[in-house]
Amino acid sequence: MISSLKGRLDFTGEGYAVIDVHGVGYQVRMTAPGLHQVRSTEGPVRLFTHLSVREDELVLYGFFRHSELELFRMLISVTRVGPVLALSILSQISIPEFAAAILDEDEKILTSISGIGQKNAKRLILELKDKLQKRAGEFRGAMPAGYDPLRKDAVSALVALGFSQKESAKVVGKVMEGSEPAPLSAVIKAALGELREK
């Protein structure tokens, strides 16, 4: 098993980079953001890798962060999600956005990703939600510091009432900043009070 690679970028192609490790070139499939990062990195690069073994070929997938590798492995454990689709998903959405969509059961965000239909979205939520909750500590560094389900629900409620996303997020943030934990209804009520004063 090849767990990681450390070497210099030799060249890149469509969807992959070749990393030179002591004169041996390893072709590594990467996400679009990963390829952009490897191209802009000066000096040696270190990638965390997953080796996919098929009957006719060995395919190496590489990631800059271990959290990306772990999420990739979680994705390929889902029924009907192979390495190609998993890499495509991680090329189109960040770890924080994807994790939040799964935890919030947000099918709209998931189906906006190319290659994921409604059935796949439901399957991803069903098979990954518990895993993400149990392993939240591993993804804590990848999750946005301000991520808060209560905040998200309050903003969604205000948007549903006709207020803009930007305005709602700003007011909810103001209401919740430095205050004691409060139920959702209280946060929404306080936010509406702020909005009506404007």
pLDDT digits (tens, 9 = 90+) for 5-27: 999 999 999 999 999 999 999 99
Band of residue 146 on the pLDDT scale cut at 50, 70, 90: very low
Q: How many CB atoms lie within 10 A of CB 68?
A: 22
105 sits in the region (left: phi over 0; alpha: psi -120 to 50; else beta) called left
The pLDDT value given to residue 144: 47
Spatial neighbors of 197 by CB under 8 A, at least 6 apart, are: none
- Do the strands 24-29 and 45-53 form a parallel or antiparallel pair, or are they unpaired? unpaired
What is the rounded average pLDDT for all residues in the chain? Answer: 86
Question: Is the predicted pLDDT of residue 179 greater than 50, yes or no?
Answer: yes
Question: Is the predicted pLDDT of residue 198 greater than 70, yes or no?
Answer: no
What average pLDDT does the segment 161-167 reach? 79
Give the tens place of pLDDT for each residue, 38-86. 999 989 999 999 999 988 889 999 999 998 999 999 999 999 999 999 9
| Percent of the chain whose pLDDT exceeds 90 | 50
